[in-house]
Chains A and B, each alone.
Chain A
Amino acid sequence: MDNRGIDFGFGFLKQEASFDMQFTLLDYDGQDSYAWAYVVALLNTLLVSFLGIIFCTILGVIIGVARLSQNFLIRNSAAWYVEFFRNIPLLLQIFFWYYAALRALPLPETAEPWFGVTYMTIKGYYIPSMIWENLNVFLSCLIAAIVSIIFIRIYARKLQEREGKQLPVFYISIGLLIILPLLSFLIGGVKLDFELPVLKQLAQTSFIFEGGIALPPELIALVVALSLYTSTFVAECVRAGIQGISKGQKEAAASVGLNPNQILKLVIMPQALRIIIPPTTNQYLNLTKNSSLAAAIAYPDLVLVFAGTALMQTGKAIEIVGITMLTYLTISLSIAALMNWYNKRIEIKEK
């Protein structure tokens, strides 16, 4: 390496990055260091993965259940959905949404509002932003609600083991989750305002929306493509999980006098989840890794910003690619470790 004039070191991380990013979650400008650029880019990656995981889970569960429907049309539409979206390369899907589908959207000045206050335009999706007063009071109320729910659950389980009584844990949880934050509005002085996106004329023919939150088209294309693609795999996992439970389990549960809700909650779901969770985790990991395709449509994620722009500017190829790979490796291994732990916890304990 020496004879190529490459010096190895991580000193560059403290230098000024001097490039801009289109979309950031935290404050960032060109004067910040490479290290800060790394953090901001990593957050962008995590944002895409997080949104993708949520949407692909919702879609995947719906499609997976639909594939087992007794209705011929629903069953077959779900099957075709799966066959269609999983047999087209993800990169092509991202390109399709970004270059073809989202480019067909209207310009800001001609955009019709969706749901009255949001605007879907060629420049992105504009939604109202929330302006909080005394946000920390609200958050602490929320945390208090969650902590008390956990305690109530533990207490309810103990009560059931000791005396066989069952508390309506679900309704208590929902109630707490609504009442405590509501109290913070009434008593704690929390206020919530919405800032609506407003059309603004820049020049004769150039309009933009100001105010609110702007979701760039790159983010939308990426999340849509990732969640559609991954949802097909999640759907197959869900289907396999539900099919894996034998009918005898349901009948046995009914014969000991459980009602349909209890059968689903106490007998079917715990067993189905045991089959569903390991492969679904794999799909979540794949989604996180696939989110690196963002680089192809210039969404400022870790690969584009750090392994792309920063690498070109500093020339520290080995360090930067090493850090990038290590980051993904850490994410993957930590999710895998978490899931292994969870798997161990729920697996059948044979005597």
Chain B
Amino acid sequence: MNISLSKIKTSNPITNIYIGSFLLSLAIFDVFVYSFFNLNITSFLPGNLNLFFPLIIGFIGLSFIRMEYSGIKLVDNINKHINPSNFNALLTLLIIFTVLKAIPPALSWMVLDANISGDTKAACTGTGACWTYIKVWFKRFMYGMYPNELHWRINSAFILVIALGFVGYFFKENLKKYLALYYVVIYPIIAFLIIYYLISGGAFGLVWVETGAWGGLSLTFIVSFFCLIFCFPLGMILALGRRSNLPAVKYVSICYIEFWRGVPLITVLFMSSVMFPMFLPEDFFMDKLVRVIIAITLFEAAYCAEVIRGGLQALPRGQYDAAKSLGMGYWKMHIFVILPQALKLVIPGIANTFLALVKDTPLIFVVGLAEIAGMLALAKTNPKWLGFAMEGYIFAAIIFWIICYAMSKYSYNLEQKYKTER
């Protein structure tokens, strides 16, 4: 396994470990000093050798350390996990050195040389990031062009909707059978009413705010929330339709699913904003936001349907036969026997679809709705704040990353919780 370097090893493993760890720490020290303090301690070496010196020294050091069993826990762990062969040792060193090289510039840009004080562009004097920009625009990124003094309406609407979402946990035993009914029918209606009356206003003495003024992250939440709760039941119906015995229902479902899965979302959004109004009666007006929500719902429902169909197909035939033999009808069988088991199977798939939905919401920017990507584009071209695109996109990326990462971890937990041995 080892190359000829192993020949210079002494007979005593402890000496090997001493030599190896000395060389390795020398290599890491060299890179560390160079990247953090800009000190080149090996500058006496000729050009290329100077560049590769830490790599060569570290490589020799690791090959000295590599042995079957040393009795020292740390060395054995290193050998097992990051130093099992020459190739791995090289990759290990490359990764360590890359991280060491990348930390100082990233740190100085993000933290040390960055500015956050003040509230004009003039406050950004450092060479690093200008977080002042994010601070000043923060409210816009969160709430869009929604009037500043009315932000409490958005906040309270969200709190109410979330609180209602948790109501299901407190249902008494005898109410448990209405849980599905609550989440599929009642909850969406209540949530819609809350958001409509609280955020739009126009009643109960609240000022009317156009949907054009909505924006920022709150719009992302609103769009994803409604698409999420509407696309799931629709997807379920489509999935059942695709497996139906009635040819008409079956082929309509297949055509629907294949059509929506075949076109990109961006054209669907274009269609909803350009083409859709033409088919409506002349005096009938539908808000752009509503049209976009309908478009995304129809689109994602097709993906949802395919995931649920996978769960339905995975159930053994015996479940259907058993339910039928108990005298259950089609709906009873599906609601009480098939769907609960099938949905449990497809939790990861559903979560992925929802994740894709949340990640697709920035696209509504192309039809002129200013959610966070749209607000960034707006802020970027503001003459007072030119040249901070990097900060803006990194900020948005961090926010979306946290949301999506949390969702995927939650779905993983859910999957573990409902996992039953079959």
* A76 and B271 alpha carbons, distance in the complex (Å): 43
* Given A87-B408, A303-B270, A307-B270, residue A92 in contact with residue B88 (CB < 8 A): no
Q: Which residue of A lies closest to B388 (CB)?
A: A100
Instruction: Check A182 for interface membership: any CB of B closer than 8 A.
Output: no
Contacts of B389 in A (CB 8 A): 95, 99-100, 103
**Is B164 an interface residue when CB atoms closer than 8 A count as contact?**
no
Stretch at the interface among B67-75, B257-265, B322-330: B257-265
Pairwise interchain contact B267-A324, C-beta atoms closer than 8 A = yes
Within 8 A of B (CB), among A319-348: 321, 324-325, 328-329, 332-333
Beyond A292-B264, A328-B262, whether A3 also contacts B81 by CB under 8 A is no
Instruction: State in angstroms the CA–CA spacing of A72 and B270 once bound together.
Output: 47
Q: Is B294's CB within 8 Å of the partner chain A?
A: no
| Chain B 255-286 interface mask (CB, 8 Å, partner A; 1/0) | 00011011111110011001100110010000
**Given A89-B362, A92-B397, A296-B365, A333 and B262 contact (CB-CB distance below 8 Å):** yes
Closest Cβ of chain B to A43, distance in Å, is 17
- Asked if B373 is at the interface of the complex by the 8 Å CB criterion, the answer is yes
Q: What is the size, in residues, of chain B's interface with A at 8 Å between Cβ atoms?
A: 47
CB-nearest residue of chain B to A91: B362
Q: Is B91 an interface residue (CB 8 A)?
A: yes
Name B84's closest neighbour in chain A (CB-CB): A70
Main DSSP-derived SS at the B contact region = helix
B197 at the interface (CB under 8 A from A): no
| Contact yes or no, A4 B380, CB < 8 A | no
Verify if A54 is at the interface (C-beta below 8 Å from B).
Answer: no
Q: Are B390 and A91 in contact (CB under 8 A)?
A: no
Q: Which chain A positions have C-beta within 8 A of B400?
A: 87-89, 92
Q: Return B361 CB to nearest CB of chain A, in Å.
A: 8
What is the CA–CA distance of A324 and B358 in the complex, to the nearest angstrom?
25
Q: Is the CB of B401 within 8 A of A321?
A: no
Q: Which residues of B contact A205 (CB under 8 A)?
A: none
Residues B35-85 near A (CB distance < 8 A): 81-82, 84
Closest Cβ of chain A to B288, distance in Å, is: 16
Contacts of A93 in B (CB 8 A): 397
* Chain B min CB distance to A305 (Å): 13
Tell me the complex Cα distance, A289–B260, Å: 11
Chain A residue, CB-CB nearest to B376: A95
Cα separation A92 to B400 with both chains bound (whole Å): 9
Taking CB atoms and an 8 Å cut-off, the chain A residues in 82-107 that contact chain B are 83-84, 86-93, 95-96, 99-101, 103-104
Is A135 located at the chain interface by the 8 A CB criterion? no
Complex Cα–Cα for A1 and B275 (A): 11
**B274 in contact with A321 (CB, 8 Å):** yes
A72-B82, A317-B275, A317-B278 known; A92 vs B264 contact (CB < 8 Å): no
> In whole Å, how far is B97's beta carbon from the nearest beta carbon of chain A?
11
- Which residue from A6, A99, A317, A325 sits with its C-beta under 8 Å from B263? A325
- Measured in the bound complex, the distance between the Cα atoms of B84 and A70 in whole Å is 8
Is B405 in contact with A89, judged by CB distance below 8 angstroms? no
In the complex, per-residue mask of B349-385: 1 if CB is within 8 Å of any chain A CB, else 0: 0000000001111110110000001001100100000
| Distance A333 CA – B258 CA, assembled complex (angstroms) | 8
**CB <8 Å contact, B81 and A332:** no
Q: Which residues of B, 382-417, contact A by the 8 Å Cβ criterion?
A: 389-390, 393-394, 396-397, 400-401, 404-405, 408
A208 at the interface (CB under 8 A from B): no
Nearest chain B CB to A41 CB, angstrom units: 13
Are B404 and A307 within 8 A (Cβ)?
no
Q: Once the chains are docked, how many angstroms separate the CA of A73 from the CA of B83?
A: 10
Residue A71 CB within 8 A of the other chain: yes
Whether A77 is near chain B, meaning CB under 8 Å from some CB there, is yes
Q: B: which residues have CB within 8 A of A?
A: 81-82, 84, 88, 91-92, 95-96, 258-259, 261-267, 270-271, 274-275, 278-279, 282, 358-363, 365-366, 373, 376-377, 380, 389-390, 393-394, 396-397, 400-401, 404-405, 408
Q: What would 7 more interface pairs be, CB under 8 Å, given A84-B401, A89-B362, A311-B274?
A: A4-B282, A92-B397, A96-B394, A293-B363, A303-B264, A318-B275, A321-B271
Residues of chain A whose beta carbon lies under 8 Å from any beta carbon of chain B: 1, 3-4, 6, 69-74, 77, 83-84, 86-93, 95-96, 99-101, 103-104, 289-290, 292-293, 295-296, 303, 307, 311, 317-318, 321, 324-325, 328-329, 332-333
Name 8 A/B residue pairs within 8 A (Cβ), A-sorted: A73-B96, A88-B404, A89-B358, A89-B373, A92-B396, A100-B394, A328-B264, A333-B258
